Amino acid sequence: MAIISPTLLLDERKCKDNIALMCTKTRRMGLELRPHFKTHQSRIIGSWFRDTGINKITVSSLQMAAYFADDGWEDITVAFPVNHREINLINDLAARINLGILCVDPLNLEFLNKKLHNPANFWIEIDIDSQRSGLSPENLITIQSMIKMADPGLLRFRGFLSHAGKTYSASTVDEVVAIHRREVKELNNLASNFRRFSTHLEISVGDTPGCVMADEFPGITEIRPGNFVFFDLMQAEKGICRYNQIAIALACPVVAVYPPRGELVVYGGAIHLSKDFLINEHNVFFYGKPVNLTESGWSEPYPESAVVRLAQEHGVIQLKPEFLKKYRIGDIIGILPVHTCLTAQAMGSYQTLTGEKIDHM
Amino acid sequence: MAIISPTLLLDERKCKDNIALMCTKTRRMGLELRPHFKTHQSRIIGSWFRDTGINKITVSSLQMAAYFADDGWEDITVAFPVNHREINLINDLAARINLGILCVDPLNLEFLNKKLHNPANFWIEIDIDSQRSGLSPENLITIQSMIKMADPGLLRFRGFLSHAGKTYSASTVDEVVAIHRREVKELNNLASNFRRFSTHLEISVGDTPGCVMADEFPGITEIRPGNFVFFDLMQAEKGICRYNQIAIALACPVVAVYPPRGELVVYGGAIHLSKDFLINEHNVFFYGKPVNLTESGWSEPYPESAVVRLAQEHGVIQLKPEFLKKYRIGDIIGILPVHTCLTAQAMGSYQTLTGEKIDHM
């Protein structure tokens, strides 16, 4: 494989194993899996999901919905509060596919009742401590008014949707599971007040940490994890996955080696990895972990090593002397990303270990 | 101006004023200005530099060099350590333009002597405390051997180049100027040892904070600032520029408003702004500052306000109640970016205040 500049490698086998694991779990638990495609944003990877029987997906923008609708996906939820300014795109998509949209405010319904021309499904987003978007589950009066406001010929109420974003800042698996349990409980309590409005009231939850680690989903009808397709250091460092499940790595040419500093410099910086970071046990920020690239993929991260600084195109990697000495200018080293969603977005395409190009929107 | 999704607005007048200010300063001081185009990566903005008489530029990758060479730029320095794996692209460019490359190790010369087919200029990168790439100025023996190694028919030694990256983490203007002085002094000391190798030995320095704030550049022949073309919060917060000199702002649709939290949520997240951050006086991370968009551009940042959290597509903005109450779902709010180089890269194009599209590589 001739790598001349930063290249995002995709280990197809690991990725398909990650997909299979989640599909098996949801099937076993009787849950619908509506995977979030914002992590990979790829039609080819989407087809791997389709091959396992998945026929409904989640995306984070209407543009992304259009990208996948053009590829034949017919049931797509846009898990982002409805943006009134994109009503034309919403109408286009609602005419073509089974479109799901998110409402977070009565104003959304007031607007959609007037401006939506084609039927769509709507979900009410509930915020369980994520402090992002959605209504508090205690806000029963507003929630009820939203359900009642919706023009039934246009807007079909599906149920409640939440994203337990707090699991991403949890530091242990136990904490993740506790957050998940609280989310499930609160959503069920909420739903019990509204069963009279719908015989098929659904509850959708969506974070990868919770969906991977939890074993109980009482009352939940569908899950929408996304990151699990690749996983990343953010997941591995808290025990949600193993390092060897991380399915993408950034391959970077080595451009300088500094044994006295215990560092090497690669072509691969903030515009390739993104500046998302983790903080290690010594309170040091890091942006990735280096791995040895091999013919068949890559190794576990080198011990006590990290990408410690990033400029626009430079990455500075700290390595122990016994590993640093293996690298010379012109070699290639791999980096496991902190946050694969952002690295994939920054890179805009993938290359499999056999050299095939994989699309990214 | 019909904004329907996150849009990077460019205030052409501010941008041209920033360009004029730097051009005037360098002319007054008798310095060559070789502006770094990695910040804007735009042929149209490049033409604004050309209009002021600039004919030599800096870029951070060979792809970027090719983008501007195709637009008629004939003197381009790639201010990144030479990547041996891109030798074909180096040879292509060296055949077409007056190409400058950076050497950081004798291995670069050994390699180029063999593989370079067309003449190029080379600079030796010196690292004055930046801990990124380059040789220590104390490493006289290696530096001398590199100068002597270069095949004189192929590689023309131009001089020493450094990037005082530490000015970006300085917290005051005084600190910036002190770092700049030390850099200039060390480079002059170094150069004095090598005047015998070249009658026109050049010294090139390049960070925006130092180039904006310093008033003395003894012995320096050229400067390579880039960020000043737009500036950003990183510069404004330490007094390198005024808020009203920041030439780009991300226009974002408001999708949710939460008065009890003192926050609103916009369509505009990590994939639009980048995750680069600053830390405020209360030790809180922030990713941008909100401004009021007007017909003629935008206001100063709202007081005591900030983009406090980012997800892939969501931005959460903290605003005081008197400003928060002005916004409703469907409105547009502006965000001044922490780091404009990364925001511009993430967005991939600009829109002027009169609605024209401006290219980004």
Closest CA relative to residue A231, chosen from A286, A289, A179, A177: A289
Point out the domain boundary residue: B188, B204, B230: B230
A209 and A268 assigned to the same domain: no
pLDDT score, position B338? 98
Domain shared by B224 and B355, yes or no: no
CA distances from B65 to A17, A122, A268, B154 (A): 41, 48, 17, 19
Q: What is the pLDDT, as a whole number, of residue B1?
A: 60
Which of B165, B196, B230 corresponds to the end of one domain?
Answer: B230
Three-class secondary structure of residue A213 per DSSP: helix
Q: How many domains does chain A have?
A: 2
For residue A341, give the chain B residue with the closest CA. B312
Give A5's contacts (C-beta < 8 A, 6+ positions apart): A253, A267, B61, B63, B83, B85, B86
Query: Is residue A4 included in any domain, yes or no?
Result: no
Distance in angstroms between the alpha carbons of the first and the last residue of chain B: 24
DSSP A58-114: EESSHHHHHHHHTTT--EEEEEEE--GGGHHHHHHHHHHSEEEEEE-SHHHHHHHHH
Is A264 found in the same domain as A205? no
Q: Cβ contact (<8 Å) for A80 and B263? A: no
- Domain containing B148 equals 12-230
State whether B84 and A253 contact (CB < 8 Å). Answer: yes
pLDDT value, residue B124: 98
Residue A2 falls inside a structural domain: no
Q: Shortest Cα distance from B28 to chain A (angstroms)?
A: 30
Residues B93 and A130: their CA atoms lie apart, in Å, by 50
Residue A180 is predicted with a pLDDT of 94
Same domain, A285 and A342: yes
Please report which helix (H) or strand (E) contains residue A265, including its range.
strand A263-267
Nearest to A342 among B38, B84, B275 (CB): B275
Interface contact flag, A276 B270, Cβ < 8 Å? yes
What per-residue confidence (pLDDT) applies to B46?
Answer: 98
Asked whether residue A352 is assigned to any structural domain, the reply reads yes
Asked whether residue A70 falls in the same domain as residue A191, the answer is: yes
The answer to whether the CB atoms of A267 and B312 lie below 8 A apart is: no
- Tell whether B296 is covered by a domain: yes
Residues B142 and B18 placed together within one structural domain of the fold: yes
* Residues A204, A285 share a domain: no
CB contact under 8 A, B256 and A133: yes
Q: Are residues B132 and B50 in the same domain?
A: yes
Q: Which residues of B touch A315 (CB under 8 A)?
A: none
For residues A220 and A249, membership in a common domain is answered with no
Q: For residue B123, what pLDDT is reported?
A: 98
Query: Is B235 within a domain?
Result: no
Place of tokens 């041996």: B84
Pick from A60, A85, A309: CB nearest B253: A85
B260 plus B196 within the same structural domain: no
Q: Nearest Cβ partner of A341 from B5, B312, B345?
A: B312
CATH number, domain with residue B264: 2.40.37.20
Structural domain contains residue B248: yes
Co-location of B41 and B137 in the same domain: yes
Among A1, A132, A332, A347, which would you mutate to test the B interface (most chain B Cβ atoms within 10 Å of its Cβ)?
A132
Residues of chain A with pLDDT under 70: 1
d(CA A34, CA A30): 13
Domain end among B205, B230, B255: B230
Which residues have CB under 8 Å from A206's CB, separation 6+? A36, A58, A79, A161, A162, A163, A164, A223, A224, A225, A226
| CATH number for the domain harbouring residue B94 | 3.20.20.10
Largest CA distance in chain B: 71
Instruction: Report residue A100 as tokens.
Output: 């799901």
Which residues of chain B are under the pLDDT cut of 50? none
Cross-chain Cβ contact A84/B328 below 8 Å: no
Per-residue pLDDT, A197: 75
> How confident is the model over B250-300, as pLDDT tens digits?
999 999 999 999 999 999 999 999 999 999 988 899 999 999 999 899 999
Q: What is the pLDDT of residue A295?
A: 87
Question: CB–CB of B240/B173 below 8 Å?
Answer: yes
Q: Are residues A322 and A186 in the same domain?
A: no
Q: Is B140:B107 a contact under the CB 8 Å cutoff? A: no
